[in-house]
Amino acid sequence: MRRLTGFLLAAALAVPAAAQDAPLEQPEVERVYTPIPAERLDQMVPKHPGYLGALAPANLNAERPPAPIDLTGTWFVDLSEGFLHFLFGPPYPRFGPEGVEALIDSAAAREAGETYRDSIGQCYPPGMPMIMTRVWPHAFIQLPTAIYMISGFNNSVRTIFLDGREFSNADIVVPSYNGESIGHFEGDTLVVETRYFETDNHWIDYGIPISDEFRIIERITLSGDDNEVMEIEYIMTDPQMWEGEWRSTKRFTRQDYTDINEANCILAYNANLPGTDLGSEAAEERGQSNLVGEDE
């Protein structure tokens, strides 16, 4: 390192003083801005053709009945019922072969102290519904046209549209981990249907897979003296993966002294975390290195 530093210093001193003081000449760069052709603009179809964006002033100010409940606030999953409250089962529905295999293999992995389908640990989004089981707060921001949910876990964003739009065309929609959600009110209950899920590395509970037919219905209510409890009943269906409905209910408590900060999942950092595939591999490599050192 000293030789390299000395070489760089000598090289710098060898440059004439005039050259050192002279400003560097910047090459001229011609910037060419190509406008988008009109025919291309006509092809840029909105996600929901014919519907104003949820934040368009004309949509926000349109006449509509006031919402019977307001979910605006920061919410945290109720931990009073213990760890099993994280899960969506048991009771489980009658699974097909993929779900049964996941339950068997995940149990064997836990018994061996190994991870199983640790996609979240590898920075895949947990997606709905598992995002709601993470031990991170969720901010709900309710407007007349939509509810925006921002999770403290990796800042996952979900939008529940309330402006009466229809679901996107199934032939052109782009699936996502939180799906596309459209809600309406039935009395004091917000009913939300979500469909169009990304299935790649998207699991429920102990690595139970979903298909592109996966759907969620949520029935959301508020209770308590100051509406400090949010209860969500989940009704999940997936004809390819299980029979009938998979039902579960979860509660969340309002957290008035909590805010959502920036959070990002960086895969390289997870190599140091126990309980992930990368962390387990790193620990195993460290153990092998120690053994090699002892042998030497």
Q: Which residues contact 276 (CB under 8 A, 6 or more apart)?
A: 115, 118, 121, 122, 270
**Least reliable range by pLDDT among 58-67, 205-214, 227-236, 258-267:** 258-267
Q: Rounded to an integer, what distance in angstroms lies between the CA atom of residue 204 and that of residue 178?
A: 13
At 10 the pLDDT is 47
The answer to whether residue 40 scores a pLDDT higher than 80 is no
With CA atoms as reference, report the closest residue to 133 among 193, 89, 167, 169: 89
Percent of the chain with pLDDT over 90: 64
pLDDT of 229 > 60? The answer is yes
CATH number for the domain formed by residue range(s) 63-265: 2.40.128.20
Output 18 or 170, whichever has higher pLDDT. 170
| Residues β-bridged to residue 147 | 142, 160
Partnered with residue 176 across adjacent β-strands are 197
Which pLDDT score is estimated for 218? 98
**39 pLDDT exceeds 60?**
yes
In tens, the pLDDT along 126-172 reads 999 999 988 899 999 999 999 999 999 999 999 999 999 999 999 99
Confidence band, pLDDT 50/70/90 cuts, at residue 294 = very low
- Cα angle: 126, vertex 275, 177; to 5 degrees: 10
Cα–Cα distance measured from residue 201 to residue 119, given in angstroms and rounded to the nearest whole number: 6
User: Cα(171)–Cα(34) distance, rounded to whole angstroms?
Assistant: 31
Q: Hey, is 282 helix, strand or coil?
A: helix
Of 48-57, 103-112, 239-248, which range is least confident?
48-57
What is the domain partition of the chain in residue ranges? 63-265
Q: What is the largest CA-CA distance in the chain?
A: 82
pLDDT of res. 284: 60
pLDDT at 277: 57
pLDDT at 5: 43
Give the pLDDT of residue 269: 66
Supply the pLDDT for residue 232: 97
User: Could you tell me the pTM of the whole model?
Assistant: 0.78
pLDDT tens digit sequence for 84-124: 567 898 899 999 999 999 999 999 999 999 989 999 988 99
- Average per-residue pLDDT for the chain: 84
- What is the structure's pLDDT at 12? 47
